[in-house]
Homo-oligomer: A and B are copies of this chain.
Amino acid sequence: MTAAPGAGFVAFSQRWLARVETALRELLPPADMPPRTLHAAMHHAMFPGGKRLRPMLGLLGCSATGGDLERALRPSAALELLHTYSLVHDDLPCMDDDDLRRGRPTCHKVFGEAAALLAGDALLTLAFEGVAAGGAAAVATLARAAGCLGMVGGQMADLEAEGGAGERSLAAVRWIHDRKTGALITASLLVGALAGQRPGRAPLPDALRQMLGDYGDRLGRAFQIADDCLDLTGTAAELGKNPLADLAHDKLTWPAIVGLPASLRQAQELADAAVAMAPAIVFEAASWQQVPIDALDEARGLLQDAALYAVHRRS
């Protein structure tokens, strides 16, 4: 029996999931701590969670650079706080005005708009508290990727492009994809890599950082094109939300420009390009860490599986 493409990354995620959940529960104040509405809203948004992809990418970035996964755990988990804040704010009435998220009522439907707004603000802030445990460079990397030149900028451009306004070109979609999703995917890998390094060592070499960033950019593009395709091909049960939602909002997506078959092919090409980069990344990491290349063999496989997972997942 052949394993499904990306199975190694799925198994890695399943192995780490309980640890990530524990780290998240340690980061968040209890749901019944005053002000209760705020903390309950934060918990509602965070639990139960999904695949915790960004924390897993953080741990992958750590693993691929020979870092210490225990050190990277808390900062990596904190990436999910940042991702979740973006969902809570995206769902607000002045944004996408969504009532459901992962099959449950959205935060503002349960707790009201003010509490949802503040819960998002608090999750974003708490993300930086968690990532601070990984050092100032991890914080700066995440902030740059998540801010107006990254995720928030992509969100703004995505909103403006809705309903057919603005330029509808592949360049415009890529601009939005790279910022709205890609920036945080790449930053997750880098935050894990930076946070996992043992103290007293030389900082992560620029060349290695660059290679991991390039890998992340390809992974992020593949992931987001695949996401656009899933909106067209997935079922409500697989997605946990209604398919064709992008179409209903007249969102600017990859298949909206080049069609579904070309989109699927291009996502696979990007994933293949990411797969091809894995050996060079771990070679560079092994030289830097002065360990035999074999020590990073599992990490190489994980980098490759993560890229395949991005395009072969069904949710």
How far apart are the CA atoms of A94 and B97 in the complex, in Å? 14
Contact B146 A38 (CB under 8 A): no
Q: Which of B114, B117, B122, B148 contacts A117 (CB 8 A)?
A: B117
Q: Are B95 and A156 in contact (CB under 8 A)?
A: no
Judging by beta carbons under 8 Å apart, are A156 and B115 in contact?
A: yes
Q: Does A126 contact B (CB under 8 A)?
A: yes
Known A-B contacts A118-B155, A156-B118; A129 and B124 likewise in contact (beta carbons under 8 Å): no
Within 8 A of B (CB), among A148-177: 148-149, 152-153, 155-157, 159-160
> Are B143 and A132 in contact, CB atoms less than 8 angstroms apart?
yes
Min Cβ gap A127→B in Å is 8
A34 within 8 A of B: yes
**Contact: A148 with B94, CB < 8 Å?**
no
The answer to whether A128 touches B118 (Cβ under 8 A) is no
* Min distance, Cβ A22 to any Cβ of chain B, angstroms: 19
Chain B residues closer than 8 Å to A137, beta-carbon distance: 132
Q: Number of A interface residues at 8 Å Cβ cutoff, please give it.
A: 49
**Which of B35, B124, B155 has a CB less than 8 Å from the CB of A124?**
B124
Interface positions of A (Cβ within 8 A of B) = 29, 34-35, 37-39, 42, 85, 89, 92, 94-95, 112-115, 117-118, 120-122, 124-126, 128-129, 131-137, 139-140, 142-144, 146-149, 152-153, 155-157, 159-160
- Tell me, rounded to whole Å, the shortest Cβ–Cβ distance linking A309 to chain B: 28
Nearest 7 Cβ contacts at the A-B interface: A129-B143, A94-B113, A122-B148, A125-B147, A132-B140, A132-B139, A38-B156
Copy tally for this chain in the complex stands at 2
A38 touches B148 (CB 8 A): yes
Closest chain-B Cβ to A228's Cβ sits at a distance in Å of 20
CB-nearest residue of chain B relative to A94?
B113
CA distance A313 to B144 in the complex (A): 37
Q: A117-B89, A129-B144, A132-B136 known; A38 and B122 CB under 8 Å?
A: no
Q: Which of B35, B92, B139 contacts A139 (CB 8 A)?
A: B139
Contacting residue for A148 out of B42, B142, B149, B160, CB 8 A: B42
Contact, CB under 8 Å: A143 / B117: no
Q: Which residues of B contact A153 (CB under 8 A)?
A: 34-35, 38, 122
| Bound Cα distance from A115 to B144, whole angstroms | 19
Cross-chain contact B139 with A128 (CB below 8 angstroms): yes
CB distance from A139 to the nearest CB of B (A): 4
User: Is the Cβ of B140 less than 8 Å from the Cβ of A125?
Assistant: no
Question: When chains A and B are docked, how far (Å) is the Cα of A122 from the Cα of B148?
Answer: 5
Complex alpha-carbon distance, A159 and B116, angstroms? 13
Which B-chain residue is minimally distant from A179 (CB atoms)? Answer: B35
Q: Which residues of B contact A39 (CB under 8 A)?
A: 148
